[in-house]
Structure 1
Amino acid sequence: MTPNLLSHTQSGTGPTLVFLHGFCESKEVWTDFVKPLLHEFQIITLDLPGHGESELPKDYSMEAQARQVQETLVSLNVEKCLLVGHSMGGYVSLAVAEQFPDLLYGLCLFHSSALADNEEKKESRNKTVEFIQKHGVDKFMETFVAPLFAESNRVSCQPAIEKMQTIGKATPQETIIGCLQAMRDRKDRTEVLKTTPIPVFFMAGKEDPAVPLEATLQQCHLPENSMTYFLGHVGHMGMFENTALTRQALLKFAETLSPANAQKYRSQNSF
């Protein structure tokens, strides 16, 4: 793999949808989610720096990660894409929208936020760093993943929880700590939402412990063009907790950007 380029998958033809995973995840979280979309869209999934099969970076800041996303997409001859970012992937997506707006024809904040960490959240991240340094990655992942799912979904989503734990335990401690510090120090990007001409889609779980409903309500009206989908009985992991509805909602947003293509896709496929 060429230095600075991120590990990726690239399949399908049509308008390009790019998926960025979240903290302690990898491109594998999107594997089942994107399969039905491959008929009419080019789907690209990326491993963010230090995650999955991507190399460890020197800089974990959202800006630096955004540059690596842009460099990788340019290398794949992507001129325009709908960028879907889950959680930390959404923070990176907002940095892409700020630095490389011409690369995007749409932006989806998938359980994510433009708000910076408040002091309480910053302190929580510092304590998490201390916990990992003392107890290690495996111990952290055993307590981190399950609470991201709505309590009512934890039994049915047990295979997904175990998959997430496995991915997380394979993530280098250096990456986990680097990303915690980068998320803690990231800037507020609500101004990006206020000024961008790019259509923005907010996917929100009503029981999300990481991005509370109130945070989404503070932001979803800011872009000039936006859509918001609120998922009941869903926490932070909508791609697993309610795959069909989240996929349908994303498709509906894509339809507003490319009506003819999405309508053709809708007539040929059911969820």
Structure 2
Amino acid sequence: MEFLNSHGTMYYELHGESDKTILLIHGFPLDSSMWKPQIPFLVKSGYSVLLLDLPGLGQSLYKRALSIDEMADEIADMLQTTNTTPCCVGGMSMGGYVALSLALRHPDCFNKLALIVTRAEADSEEAREGRYKLAEEVRQNGTKAAADIFIDKVLDVDSDPKLRDVVYSIMTKAPAAGVVAALEAMAQRPDRIATLPEIDALTLVMWAEKDKAMPPESARNMLTGIADASEARLPGGHLTNMEYPEEFNRALLRFLES
């Protein structure tokens, strides 16, 4: 399905027929297909699953680059237009940055928040410069420049080779312009630490034991800053939902039913 407005077209899918809907927002440089291991389980458990491709990624085509806050505003607009109030919004990594923005800018859009291998801190100056440098490489050489770096950030070298192939394929299909826009949006995102106490949604902070992209300290900062937050410690690395779907799904369901 497509949500059209003056900025472009956001692609989304709805799986299931329940009035209890969970919205899942993907990470970088991926798209909504990263959530395939969650769809059958959540639908069988009595939920509808709403997936979308962030602006410029997957099948979402936009006329210009959007900031993280503008992406959140687009999602809020889509939810309002489609008359959808999710029982939970879950955001993974970059999707978590968008979910945090959504929680702060549009708190009435949903009831529960799942922050999945993500962080509230802004980039350090070094990390910011790294994103800008990579964005320039993608401009010059295409999406493969980002995929070659991020595949080893999101998966261990000893991960299932078939899974690595699937993830790498998703990454390399991302439009180069969208990858550049996303890198710049992440580099320019604001620090959310001081505003975490403003989040009043029941929150689950999900972090992975071998995550090379998001340190445990980031999870602790969110657990400390958000008043009504609990944690789920998961096995594997950054793409824990794809590496260990059973453990991930059980932890998410416990939260949804709490």
TM-score of the two chains, using structure 1 as the length reference: 0.87
Q: Partner of 2:83: helix, strand, or coil?
A: coil
Q: 1:107 to 1:18 in 2, by over 3 A?
A: same
Distance 1:142 1:150 in 2: 13
Runs of 4+ in structure 1 deviating by more than 6 angstroms, as ranges, are none
Shift of 1:83: 0.3
In structure 2, the partner of 1:225 is 228
Distance 2:20 2:40 in 1: 15
Deviates more, 1:91-100 or 1:126-135: 126-135
Would the aligned equivalents of 1:5 and 1:71 in 2 still touch at CA under 8 Å?
no
Distance 1:57 1:103 in 2: 25
Q: Provide Cα deviations, 1:205-226, integer angstroms capped at 9, x if missing partner.
A: 1221111112212221221111
Q: Provide Cα deviations, 1:149-205, integer angstroms capped at 9, x if missing partner.
A: 1344x2x2x222222222222211111111111101100112332121101111101
Would the aligned equivalents of 1:94 and 1:192 in 2 still touch at CA under 8 Å?
no
Aligned to 1:247, which of 243, 249, 257?
249
Distance 1:89 1:57 in 2: 20
Unaligned segments of structure 2, at least 5 residues: none
In structure 2, the partner of 1:269 is none
Would the aligned equivalents of 2:23 and 2:86 in 1 still touch at CA under 8 Å?
no
Distance 2:63 2:28 in 1: 15
Q: Does 1:50 align with 2:53?
A: no
Amino acid across the alignment from 1:10: L
Aligned to 1:6, which of 6, 10, 19?
10
Would the aligned equivalents of 1:80 and 1:102 in 2 still touch at CA under 8 Å?
no
In structure 1, the partner of 2:29 is 24
TM-score of the two chains, using structure 2 as the length reference: 0.92
In structure 2, the partner of 1:145 is 151
Distance 1:200 1:192 in 2: 14
Amino acid across the alignment from 1:124: G
Distance 1:60 1:86 in 2: 18
Amino acid across the alignment from 2:244: N
**Which aligned pairs between 1:75-224 and structure 2 lie closer than 5 A?**
75-152=81-158, 154=159, 156=160, 158-224=161-227
Q: Partner of 1:8: helix, strand, or coil?
A: strand
Shift of 1:57: 4.2
Q: CA RMSD in A?
A: 1.6
Amino acid across the alignment from 1:36: F
Shift of 1:5: 4.9
Amino acid across the alignment from 1:163: V
Distance 1:140 1:22 in 2: 13
Query: How many matched pairs?
Result: 252
Would the aligned equivalents of 2:13 and 2:51 in 1 still touch at CA under 8 Å?
yes
Distance 1:34 1:63 in 2: 27
Q: 1:151 to 1:211 in 2, by over 3 A?
A: same
Distance 1:163 1:57 in 2: 28
Q: 1:161 to 1:203 in 2, by over 3 A?
A: same
Amino acid across the alignment from 2:38: F
Q: Partner of 1:7: helix, strand, or coil?
A: strand
